[in-house]
Chains A and B, each alone.
Chain A
Amino acid sequence: MWEYTEKVTEHFLNPKNVGKIEDADAVGEVGSLSCGDALRLFLKIGEGERIEDAKFQTFGCASAIASSSVLTEMIKGMTLDEAAKVTNKDIAEKLGGLPKEKMHCSVMGQEALEDAIRNYRGEEAAPAPEGEIVCKCFGVTDVLIRRAVEENNLTTVEEVTNYTKAGGACGDCHEKIAQIIAEVRGCAAPEVSKSDEKAPMTNIQRMQLVTKIIDNEIRPALKKDGGDIELIDINGTEVTVSLRGACVGCPSSHITLKNLVERRLKETVEEAITVKEV
């Protein structure tokens, strides 16, 4: 059961401004049957571009209906310029908050409003299909995802799904969404939680892999500097080596061990690997 606020329940059970305006000056449409929710917003616009009346028709869950209802209440009396500044956050706040999985319902409200304003101003009626489709299942573009991340300070793929639906079905676009978050926020990509963890390695597999990496990658690298390495033992994830040649007595041999040998084995074999020297 969702935890809906009293405001959400009230607007759902007794929605305001349901229906259509026959001689509407602007109509905004968003969503589709296949996506599970859709909203059509009708506006009557008077002098000074002031919204005199607003009505809606919504196909969707309780929070979609509540978001539509509260949106019509909010924008009545606003000028179009003022209405254009209404964000999905404002809609959610007016409802006392929405469950995070339902934030996309408030986004739908904002999008329908924008569509209606574009419609009134005679701009491109359809939502400008700018950008490339990232989520094929729900047809969400990178532009939309970027905006949701910026406006709502989103940091994880899950949050992006909650706000835009992107990534909510097959999950193929999760990596791409993570990249977009990283670009917007200018930081490293958040980890995409993968349910398909690798099966744990057997001891034999681990030994073979460690031996291969040392022989093919690490030894050749050390040899360039006149050094060498010998694999002494592998006990579980603990790898024991001995540094030879020019490495012996080199003041930076400890750094070589940690930065080159251990880091490389962690990257290629298993994160749990530790390396010690004898």
Chain B
Amino acid sequence: MTPIYFDNNATTMVAPEVRDAIIPLLNDEYGNPSSMHNLGERSGRLLAEARGKVATALGCSPDEIIFTSCGTEGDNTAIHSALQSHPEKKHFITTKVEHPAVLNVANHLERSGYDVTYLGVDNLGRLDLDELRAAIRPDTALISVMYANNETGVVFPIKEIAEIAREHGVPVHTDAVQAVGKIDINLAELPVDYLVFSGHKIHAPKGVGVLFVRRTAQFRPFLLGGHQERGRRGGTENLPGIVGLGKAIELAKAGIEEENTRVRAMRDRLEKGLMDAIPDAIVNGDPENRLPNTLSIAFKYIEGEAMLLMMNQFGICASSGSACTSGSLEPSHVLRAMGIPFTFSHGSLRFSLSVYNTEEEVDTVLKELPPIIERLRAMSPFREGDEGLDWVEKHSHD
């Protein structure tokens, strides 16, 4: 069964053009860019070319680009860099809805003597910039705010955040893993100091990412080793991945308009179709500032894992913020931070589209999902209209 893939915020298929760009590197072009022979020189040129493509796409200089192994490495390196540059500053500001690649670094910092402020969000997943202003202190070493949320697709006002930070002389890091390729980013006009993204979210393979470090920003290497990446990241470059990422970001840049028109229209049709067909459902996240490809929707009285496994029967791939899918016992920290009631958050689904999705695939979801919801609700003791409603009251101590 061909998968109907609506889980592009988790990972994406490798674009055929990207695959074609990588294949020579798996055949003849196996040189080490550091080597002093023709093979190495050719690899060095491919590396420079890929770096140039990333810089062009983001509006920065090639020497501001460091290739990494993943988004997590970029986030860790950026935070480490800013904090190590000012060891006397012991305050870190981030949000409650970050990806674990930032959140777990923040938790670790708290245990190592840092003061961490976690900015909250409202029930649409929006930050309060006054809360940010009030949180900044003379000893704030870094502000780290994601560009767009992976679960709800809510886009944060990074430019305003970076401007506020700049007024106070505090550096800014943004995890832009979900934003690159969906939002046009121009670093010439976006005053962040560090920006991170990952290849496998934009149709490059897994295992390669990018860390942008502005020339004026402090840098301390995280991976110590050879002189690769101008001494800023030791370790032989993942050249096939990097060349693939270079191709992928070119395609992504060219595809942003399609993301914001065709993909957005498919997402909107999926959202409207599900909301019309299924009662007791809510859409999570700010409808005004949302990624064009993401739909987070929650259904009352049922649980996410059960929905995913039933959808899997039809080849439909999505994900859920329910507790059971992650192996944790609590639903998603993002939905909890937004104050989404438990009656909904256990039954949340995330559909994340890409330019490779089709209208027929949306039709399939609109056809297959409502009966699945109906079936699971018929099994649920909390179903509305049931005499068991008292029980809902008695048992929903959220």
Contacts and interface: CB of A to CB of B under 8 A. Distances in A.
Interface in A177-222: 195-197, 199
Contacts of A38: 381-382, 395
B323 A36 contact: yes
A36 B381 contact: no
Interface stretch (B34-42, B77-85, B117-125, B304-312): B304-312
Interface stretch (A60-68, A115-123, A244-252): A60-68
A34 B397 contact: yes
A175 interface: no
Contacts of A13: 309-310, 313
Interface in A39-66: 39-40, 57-62, 64-65
Given A40-B381, A101-B327, A161-B329, A34 B310 contact: no
B2 to A, nearest CB: 18
A191 B83 CA distance: 32
A29 interface: yes
A97 interface: no
Contact of A59 (B113, B323, B325, B380): B380
Given A61-B322, A168-B328, A34 B381 contact: no
Interface in B57-91: none
Interface in B291-329: 301-306, 309-310, 313, 322-325, 327-329
B392 interface: yes
A33 B309 contact: no
Contacts of A255: none
A203 to B, nearest CB: 17
A18 B397 contact: no
Contact of B302 (A59, A101, A169): A59
B346 A36 contact: yes
B27 interface: no
B378 A36 contact: no
Interface string B87-122: 000000000000000000000000111000000000
B398 A33 contact: yes
Nearest to B394: A32
Residue of A34, A58, A64, A168 with highest tally of chain B CB at under 10 A: A34
B303 A57 contact: no
Interface string A7-18: 000001101001
A15 B322 CA distance: 21
Contacts of A59: 301-303, 379-382
Nearest to A161: B329
A57 B323 contact: no
Given A58-B379, A169-B330, A32 B309 contact: no
B396 A32 contact: yes
B388 A36 contact: no
Contacts of B113: 199
B348 to A, nearest CB: 12
B156 interface: no
Nearest to B391: A29
Contacts of A12: 306, 309
Interface string A148-191: 00000000000001000100110000000000000000000000
B370 to A, nearest CB: 18
**Size category of the binding interface on chain A:** 35 or more
B331 interface: yes
A77 interface: no
A61 B380 CA distance: 11
A184 B36 CA distance: 67
A137 B380 CA distance: 23
Interface in A110-162: 137-138, 161
A36 B324 contact: yes
Contacts of B112: 199
Contacts of B392: 33
Given A61-B305, A61-B324, A161-B329, A32 B310 contact: no
A227 interface: no
Contacts of A39: 381
A34 B327 CA distance: 16
Given A12-B306, A59-B302, A61-B305, A169 B313 contact: no
B343 interface: yes
B107 to A, nearest CB: 8
Interface in A248-272: none
Contact of B306 (A62, A168, A196, A199): A62
Given A34-B396, A34-B397, A61-B322, A15 B379 contact: yes
A18 B376 CA distance: 10
30 contacts: A13-B310, A13-B313, A15-B379, A18-B379, A29-B381, A33-B342, A33-B395, A35-B329, A36-B323, A36-B324, A36-B331, A38-B382, A38-B395, A39-B381, A40-B388, A57-B380, A59-B301, A59-B380, A59-B382, A60-B306, A61-B322, A62-B309, A64-B303, A65-B379, A102-B324, A138-B329, A161-B329, A169-B329, A195-B111, A199-B112
Interface of B: 111-113, 301-306, 309-310, 313, 322-325, 327-331, 342-343, 346, 378-383, 388, 391-392, 395-398
* 7 A-B pairs with least C-beta separation: A168-B329, A61-B324, A57-B381, A32-B395, A61-B305, A196-B111, A40-B381
